[in-house]
Structure formats: C-alpha cells, structure tokens
Amino acid sequence: MNMKIDKYEKIGKDKYRLYLSNGEVIDTYDNVILDNELLLKKELDNYLYNKVLNETSFYDKYNIALNYIKVRLRSTKEIKDYLIRKKIELEDIEAVIDKLTKTNNLNDDYFSKCFIKDKFRFTSWGPYRIKQELKKLGVDDEYINNNINVISSEEIDEKLDKVINKQIKSNHGKLDNYKLRNKIYANLVKLGYDASYVINILDEYL
C-alpha cells in the first residue's frame, strides 16, 4: 500500500519531518529526501518506505560520529570505540567509518599530522612520547613515522632549550650540577626525547 507525503516540515539543520497519509510521522534527513527524490515523488511504496527508514537509521548513527569529530579531530579507533560505547552494532559502525573516510571526515594520516603539531606546540612532549600516544589511538605506524618528521631538529632544540632553562632557573641552588643534570635528563627522556641526544644537549648547559 502506497503512502502519500502530505507535508514536509523543517525541524532543524539538515532534518525534516514527513507527515504521511496514514498518520505516521518520520523524522529524517535532507540527504535521505534528496537521494530518494522524495520532493518529486511525494509517495512511498513499501520498498521506498523501508529504504527511507533504514537510511534514516544510518544517518542517526553517522551524525553521532560526525558530532563527536566536530568537537576535535579523532582517529579511526577513537570513533570505533565511541560508537561501541553507544551500543551501535559492529556492522553499522563499519558502514559509518567507511562513509566518514570517503567524505574525508576521518583520515588517520591527516589526524596524525595535526596531533603531532599540536602536542609538540602546546605540551612539553618529545617525539617518542607523541608516537606512543598515537599508537594508543590506533594510528598506523606508517603514518606516525612519516609525519613525525614535521617536527624539525631546530624546533626540538628550541623546545629543549626552553625546558632545560626553565628547570635550571627553578632549581635555585637546591641541587648540585650533577644531581640537577640527572634530574633534567630523566625528565626529558620521560617526556619522549632521545636519550643520547639529551646527553649531548645537556653538555652545553651543565
């Protein structure tokens, strides 16, 4: 039995409410309306009715993920874990991830570049720590190793200079040079800087 669409009502950004001739109301998305040419057909047979419901359900889940990404960039693993917590079926999660990837809303290569730049700029983390955190976020080693090079050796030297000078100034003579050097060394290695490189740099200060 075919159902006519008696009325369209905009209920939010990209969302519409469809009033059907049988009294049913469907809240769906403009993508569903456009993809199925509902503005032209204005009528649903059983096949199209079920198709609209299925696509609406998909976009409900897709927008959950998209809104999560809008807060900040996410890795593929972060999105998958988030949707699992939302009790979404694995098959649907894979479909959402596939669409997010195709629309370039999800891109682990780009995500890793931005993550590396932000963490190096706004924290004291060194390259090794940043790489470890990206691995925890499920980013492929190839992306990590290729993109970690966005941090130049000059930038690393500048960051180390700031961190070392800050710790030397905050010491106020509490530790002798030997103990202070060891403390700074341990801290920088923990932050993710190369141990041998740190030793060489510290020779210039202590």
- 50 near 9, Cβ under 8 Å? no
pLDDT computed for residue 173 by the predictor = 81
The pLDDT profile of the chain, 206 residues, written as one tens digit per residue, is 789 999 999 998 899 999 999 999 999 999 999 999 998 888 899 999 999 999 999 999 999 999 999 999 999 999 999 999 999 999 999 999 999 999 999 999 999 999 999 999 999 999 999 999 999 999 999 999 999 999 999 999 999 999 999 999 998 888 999 999 999 999 999 999 999 999 999 999 88
Which pLDDT score is estimated for 2?
Answer: 87
Contact by Cβ (8 Å): 59, 31: yes
Q: Looking at residue 13, what is its pLDDT? A: 87
Tokens for 84, please give them.
Answer: 């699992």
- pTM (two decimals): 0.87
